[in-house]
A and B are shown apart, each in its own frame.
Chain A
Amino acid sequence: MNSDVIVKTVNLKKYYEIRSKYLKRVIGYVKAVNGVDLEIKRGETLGLVGESGSGKTTLGLVLAKLVKPTDGKYFLKGIDITYSLPKNLRGKIRIVFQDPYSALNPRLKIVDTLIEPLLAQGVDKENAKEKVAKYLKLVGLSEEYLESYPHMLSGGQRQRIMIARALVTEPEFVILDEPTSMLDVSTQAQIIELLKKIKNEKNLTYLFITHNLAVARYLSDTIAIMFSGQIVEIADKKTIFSNPLHPYTKTLLSAYPSPDPSSTWSPEIPEDIDNNTLIYNQGCSYAGRCPLRKDLCLKTSPELIEVENNHKVRCHIYKDRT
């Protein structure tokens, strides 16, 4: 195992049970995360891009240790943390949530929210307050905000608080779950800049979850495209943008204002097939929307295969190229 790989997952799965309305029998599963293999190196930012419902937020929660995976393995710095987190690693993985409005308890002062992660680690209150003040400065807020209540702050300020709150435990791996999507455009840019600055200062590793390719492109080193619980394509950002392979990636990029107008991708989407066949068969999860669908796609699910160096794609079309 490469020593500078800090986060690694092997076949990570998270299934949710679907129960009947009254008798609560299990009648199926939502496969929110369905076999994800990731490797993130120290100091790297992995952009995880996908539409809503693709399971990217669930993956974030699993990686933040907030949701137990159904199956698979999860390593931090080579230590298996799938089921428990050793004491010395507590606070080393943190997450910043999408919605800074509801992530702050409206009844707690900012200072109380901020010191909570430190209290949880057993730091005494006075030291915690001191440290918190430092981090507040780091995210660009003055100390007077410590005594405020959330309702007095703007969305951007709140998200800064949340970032500070994530950083106070000196994490090595930070999951950013669409941290800017609820903010207005000008604030978005400031937060992105802040995140970038802090990352360089603290040599952090980011998993940056977003549906916005432009933001992903700006902040990430590597980009993974997620669809229906699976990574369908992963490569460094230049490769993704210059040479998208998966039909889904291509669709996403076609919606994204491209610097090269000639590469427009406007395929014909095949006529609909019965949803049930898709749900119950073993085929490719993208088959229903795929313009390049073949019979094989309805029968077997493709593997993630490395087409070029560090460029992996999950599609039958590229099976023969390896």
Chain B
Amino acid sequence: MVSSRLKVLEEVLRIKRVRYGIFILLSLAILSIFVILFSPFEYDRISPRVHLPPLAGSDTSWPHILGTDNLGRDVFTRTFYAFALDLGCALAVVILSGSIGLAIGIASSYLGGVIDAVLMRIMDIVISIPGFMLAIAIAAVLGSSIFNAIIAIAIVTIPVYARLVRSVVLSVKESLFVLAAKEAGLSDLYIVVKHVLPHVIPTFITQASMELSNAIIYIAALSFVGLGAQEPVPEWGLMISSARRYVREAWWTAVFPGLVMFLTVLSFNLIGDGLRDYLDPKKRTVIGVQVETS
């Protein structure tokens, strides 16, 4: 007998968008691993050969595939180091805010009453402040570092998960099999873990993949305004921020990190978009925004 989980995976992989997304992501990841392991250039290795155009030769056997930046650092190496860094940070954001949001969502829907009301009002307030504004305010208070940027973005995105999880849990809670489980005399905790959570996970994962792309954009934007990564850390937003000063002489220093960032964001959006359609073809959805049909 075929396990149902494998089957789901198979069906998901059959969706073109998801396949393309995974393909792009894997290619970038492989390049990134390759670069981190084998690049002859350290990400902070400076050289007098500044602003070399793409494919220019170098003092090693490797050419500067994407040229060099204003300190003669290899743009290719830095861009793909940044892939690992930004992806890691985005994952940290999603794990942090996702797990807190999950806990809040479950607590809120299960405990109900005053706790639900208080938690959801707090979430309402956080969500009624435009996210990037709040992230900037929090990051400014915490001080500029990539770590603080992660915390700020995580705080801002908690309500997205909390609300989502709460609504899914509430609808799952009403389902007959949960009632049946209750009837069997199972404890609330057991029902949440065994019956409710598995139904939250797919929606949660879909949202998380969308939020990954948001987190990447937020991290880069915070670094761009100076509230995130610091030199010489290879980070897309910081790279673009520095390269912006030289964009007329050396467009590649800004464009290539931006392009790889774009491809990463695109791949997560493709995956998320496809997953969402797969999970709920009836609901009209557009990347990142869920429009309820009445």
A residues in contact (CB < 8 Å) with B: 64, 66, 90-91, 94-95, 97, 99, 102-108, 116-117, 119-121, 147-149, 151-152, 162, 165, 169
Contacts and interface: CB of A to CB of B under 8 A. Distances in A.
Interface stretch (B96-104, B193-201, B229-237, B238-246): B193-201
5 smallest beta-carbon distances between A and B, as pairs:
A120-B185, A117-B184, A105-B177, A102-B176, A103-B176
B4 A149 contact: yes
A121 B179 contact: no
A35 to B, nearest CB: 25
A151 B181 contact: no
B182 interface: yes
A260 to B, nearest CB: 40
Contacts, number: 53
Contacts of B175: 102
B6 to A, nearest CB: 12
B183 interface: yes
A162 B181 CA distance: 11
Given A107-B4, A116-B184, A66 B177 contact: no
Range of interface residues on chain B? 10 to 19
Contacts of A116: 181, 184, 186
A147 B184 contact: no
Contacts of A107: 4, 198-199
Contacts of A106: 4, 177
Given A91-B185, A105-B195, A120-B185, A66 B4 contact: no
A169 B183 CA distance: 12
8 contacts: A90-B185, A94-B183, A97-B179, A102-B177, A103-B176, A105-B198, A120-B186, A121-B185
Contacts of B179: 66, 97, 103
B1 A151 contact: no
Contacts of B198: 105, 107
Nearest to B198: A107
B125 interface: no
Nearest to A150: B177
Contacts of B190: 120
